[in-house]
Structure 1
Amino acid sequence: MRPGRRGRTRAVAAVAATLLVGGLAFAPVAGATTTQGSERRSSLLRFWLDRLGNDRGGQVGQPGGGATQPAAPPEDDGDDGDGGAAPDGDCDAVTVIAARGTGEPAGTGFLLGQVSRQIDSRVDVPVTIVGLDYPAAAEFVNSPRQGVAELNRLVTAADDCLVLLGYSQGAIVVGDALAGFSSANGAKVRAVVMFGDPRFNSVEPYNEGSFGQPSRGLNPRRAGELAAFNDRIQNYCNGGDLVCQGSRNGGGDGHLAYGQFAADAATFAAGKV
């Protein structure tokens, strides 16, 4: 579908002016840096190193606390084929599902909200923007598993063409869900954009940004795991982002500097629907 007039947005989550990203207070004001902010950034990087492990298992914590239970598997649609089956035809409507980063308030998050609205402005069919309902909590077993289960539920129920967005912990959610999609669910996905992915692997052909070569995130995905979606993914990683570059290659504020790619990401996604 060709880019055109602004689509009719059916639902857009409100975005706070000041956000908490991975435990770091972040106001999107150019040039706003302080000693306290630097200390918080250092704490954030140490936090990721200490807390992000390799275990994708565990239990799913329910929003608001309380008892936990194992994550429900995706609904079986009876199709055991290739999860990345290519989509066909034009889209009559598009749903953008945004998985926010750690600690961001419920909704799309600041970065993914920008990208979502720019996608809406670039297509000429109705666009629905959904902030994925998952904890985005400061732990990396239960919270991502909750997100994967919820994303599977939404995709299985969806009738529209889908665009999936993930930032930081949300990129874990999106990537892990993609890896397990049936061919029916995979065919609904027109575009995927991820930023600051802790499971980044520099060998993938869909990577974008100033990342080092070779480099891997704090908990990298195995090479080729999402190969069925290669032509539908853009995965942005900044060279100064410890989360997607790992402790050997990261350093600085790269994890908070993905707004520069919002327009490019939106153009890519709009071009796929």
Structure 2
Amino acid sequence: MVSGRDLVLSQTRARIAQCGAAHTKIALIGYSQGSLAVGDAIERMSSSERGTIKGVVHFGDPRFTPFINGAGFAIALGIAGPRPPYRDGVGGRTKSFCHLGDPICGFWYPTQYALQVGTNLLAACVIAKDNCPHMTYRSSDAAAFLAGKI
């Protein structure tokens, strides 16, 4: 995830340097491991960098946390544990989608077993494909949310 996080940071910083913070509007979207990269990058950004973020969408976030950073109700956390609230108002510009039964973001096992069991469930999901909740997110959901933010 470090290389993904660093790529998000470098691309964001390059855009800000090119256009200036006042003229930069960033939208970030992450799916599964991409959500880890996006979230970790946001946590490492400066306050002024976070100010350029107009919208964030997570799909199947391994650090999904109910009611935090635009997440709705869920009975479980993501398999990588909770994500802290984003600073500087970014949480209010974030939407995190976690489908019921998704083994990556809607995990119900104790933390010490999460990665092992979650990985096994995801492997089963790859075989099941369209029947696995982790494989059923739609980009139109992100587009609809972000259209109101940018």
TM-score, with length taken from structure 1: 0.42
Q: Does 1:269 align with 2:126?
A: no
Amino acid at match of 2:4: G
Native 8 Å contact 1:203 1:223 kept in 2: no
Q: Does 1:212 align with 2:69?
A: no
3-state SS, counterpart of residue 194 of structure 1: strand
Amino acid at match of 1:220: G
Q: Does 1:229 align with 2:126?
A: no
Cα deviation for residue 247 of structure 1 reads: 4.8
Native 8 Å contact 1:168 1:198 kept in 2: yes
CA distance in 1, matches of 2:143, 2:13: 24
CA distance in 1, matches of 2:33, 2:44: 17
Who is 1:163 aligned against? Answer: 27
3-state SS, counterpart of residue 201 of structure 1: coil
Consecutive unaligned residues in structure 1, runs of 5 or more: 1-143
Q: Does 1:243 align with 2:104?
A: yes
Native 8 Å contact 2:79 2:107 kept in 1: yes
Amino acid at match of 1:155: T
CA distance in 2, matches of 1:245, 1:264: 18
CA distance in 1, matches of 2:14, 2:132: 38
Q: 1:212 to 1:187 in 2, by over 3 A?
A: closer
- Computed over aligned residues only, the root mean square deviation of the Cα atoms, in angstroms, reads 2.2
- How many positions carry a matched residue from both structures? 124
CA distance in 1, matches of 2:11, 2:82: 23
Q: Deviations over 1:125-181 (max 9, x none)?
A: xxxxxxxxxxxxxxxxxxx10011111111111133111010000000000111111
Who is 1:27 aligned against? Answer: none
Native 8 Å contact 1:172 1:199 kept in 2: yes
In our comparison, the structure showing a higher alpha carbon Rg is 1
Native 8 Å contact 2:60 2:134 kept in 1: yes
Q: Deviations over 1:22-49 (max 9, x none)?
A: xxxxxxxxxxxxxxxxxxxxxxxxxxxx
Consecutive unaligned residues in structure 2, runs of 5 or more: 110-117, 122-130
Q: Does 1:149 align with 2:13?
A: no
Q: Does 1:188 align with 2:45?
A: no
Q: Does 1:254 align with 2:116?
A: no
3-state SS, counterpart of residue 171 of structure 1: helix
TM-score, with length taken from structure 2: 0.74
Amino acid at match of 2:137: Y
CA distance in 2, matches of 1:205, 1:246: 18
Q: Which has the higher helix share?
A: 2
